[in-house]
Amino acid sequence: MTAQVSSKGTSSKDATQNEVLAEVRNHIGHLTLNRPAGLNAITLDMVRHLQRQLDAWALDPHVHAVVLRGAGEKAFCAGGDIRSLYDSFKNSDTLHEDFFVEEYALDLAIHHYCKPVLALMDGFVLGGGMGLVQGADLRVVTEKSRLAMPEVAIGYFPDVGGSHFLPRVPGELGIYLGVSGMQIRAADALYCGLADWYLESDRLGTLDEQLDQLEWHETPLKDLQGLLAKLAVQQLPAPPLAALRPAIDHFFALPDVPSIVEQLREVTVADSHEWATTTADLLESRSPLAMGVTLEMLRRGRHLSLEDCFALELHLDRQWFERGDLIEGVRALLIDKDKKPRWNPPTLQALDAEHVASFFTGFDQSGS
């Protein structure tokens, strides 16, 4: 999910067809998220359309690979259509429950897809957008890419498989990204292993042309890798997180979020004092409960299978609309826009470890 607001969705079949464009060219299935005015935020109808199309192409011997992209100049996908989920909960509907079950199933299907998936991550890739791309075999970023799991900003936790892919980022970098909600650019995305290739945005058209002319020789994945190797690079110089890595690894390995913030203010690691102070200020603006649950979730996720990570996220989802800070966060940031969320608890000092732990009760017993 994400902190981005989107335009109102529509449930008419024709409109939904237009919100996900699908075509096959040169044995490649191209899927385009087509809600550029809403930064391609995904609705339940779009999730279902994507799933149906991927299922069909999986069985089609004419299709060798799949390309995922977003329409417009600004975003691949800025996440889930959070406003519709808020309205569903407020109206005592079930859309918000159905959405997570089906969105996670789609994300998991991409992770296990039987044909190579190439994700073109141009512009914003936030929340649910990250869920779509992190299971892809080939993840391409550009100079316009902005990747984040920003859920804590609206009182939520990084879902869509974030409990699996974030803790597997080197060191404590993924913990930092999940607990802070910070955005990163292309160099850091490659450094963190959240992307595989870098290509300038204005060369995406060239990539498309060469995909249309690609001669299939070996396995489809090797053919695609060979094409990317001619156009793109796999590393960029001076990723900012590399310089901050010693500080991040120190602070974000501490036992809990209150300790992290306290140490960020009191201890200097290398030349990171300004970053540490800014980060402490940022964390103190976030939902204490969301950060506390996120930290625990990510640390558990380090030792769970992908399937169990999605199960853990659903376990949290089923409680979060009632017990978490999401509804208040959406109200303050997207509905009333007063930007003064009344978090519960209001401060990190008031965050109770047992309260955090209670969200995980029952998951250990069920196993998944």
Domain final position from 231, 257, 274: 231
Are residue 96 and residue 204 in the same domain, yes or no? yes
Q: What is the residue range of 105's domain?
A: 13-148+197-231
Are residue 83 and residue 216 in the same domain, yes or no? yes
Are residue 294 and residue 324 in the same domain, yes or no? yes
| Catalytic site includes residue 137 | no
- Domain-located, residue 314: yes
- Domain-located, residue 68: yes
Domain final position from 231, 251, 277: 231
The residue annotated as part of the active site, out of 103, 107, 137, 151, is: 151
The residue annotated as part of the active site, out of 81, 159, 172, 308, is: 159
**Domain holding 338: CATH number?**
3.90.226.10
Give residue-wise pLDDT tens across range 136-153: 999 999 999 999 999 999
- E strands along the chain, which residues? 20-25, 28-33, 65-70, 75-77, 117-121, 124-126, 138-141, 146-148, 197-198
The CA distance from 66 to 30, in Å, is 6
CA distances from residue 107 to 36, 229, 276, 289, 351 in whole angstroms, order as listed: 21, 26, 34, 26, 32
The CA distance from 309 to 51, in Å, is 20
Are residue 206 and residue 319 in the same domain, yes or no? no
Are residue 281 and residue 322 in the same domain, yes or no? yes
- Domain-located, residue 40: yes
Are residue 86 and residue 215 in the same domain, yes or no? yes
Are residue 217 and residue 247 in the same domain, yes or no? no
- Domain-located, residue 188: no
- 98: nearest Cα among 318, 323, 362: 318
Task: Using DSSP bridges, classify how beta strands 138-141 and 117-121 pair: parallel, antiparallel or unpaired.
Answer: parallel
- Domain-located, residue 121: yes
Are residue 24 and residue 126 in the same domain, yes or no? yes
The residue annotated as part of the active site, out of 9, 128, 129, 135, is: 128
Per-residue confidence (pLDDT) for residue 1, from 0 to 100? 61
- The residue ranges of the chain whose pLDDT is under 70 are 1-17, 364-368
| Catalytic site includes residue 296 | no
- Domain-located, residue 172: no
- The structural domain count of the chain equals 2
Domain final position from 231, 248, 281: 231
| Catalytic site includes residue 159 | yes
Are residue 129 and residue 99 in the same domain, yes or no? yes
Are residue 67 and residue 34 in the same domain, yes or no? yes
Are residue 248 and residue 349 in the same domain, yes or no? yes
The CA distance from 259 to 365, in Å, is 29
Per-residue confidence (pLDDT) for residue 3, from 0 to 100? 40
Residue 276 and residue 264 in contact, taking contact as beta carbons nearer than 8 Å = yes
Are residue 139 and residue 43 in the same domain, yes or no? yes
The residue annotated as part of the active site, out of 80, 155, 162, 292, is: 80
Per-residue confidence (pLDDT) for residue 169, from 0 to 100? 98
| Catalytic site includes residue 322 | no
Rounded to 5 degrees, φ, ψ at 178 are -75, -40
- Domain-located, residue 320: yes
- Domain-located, residue 8: no
Residue 74 and residue 36 in contact, taking contact as beta carbons nearer than 8 Å = yes
Per-residue confidence (pLDDT) for residue 270, from 0 to 100? 81
Structure tokens at 125: 């890739």
Q: The whole model's pTM is what?
A: 0.94
CA distances from residue 86 to 1, 3, 274, 339 in whole angstroms, order as listed: 12, 12, 37, 17
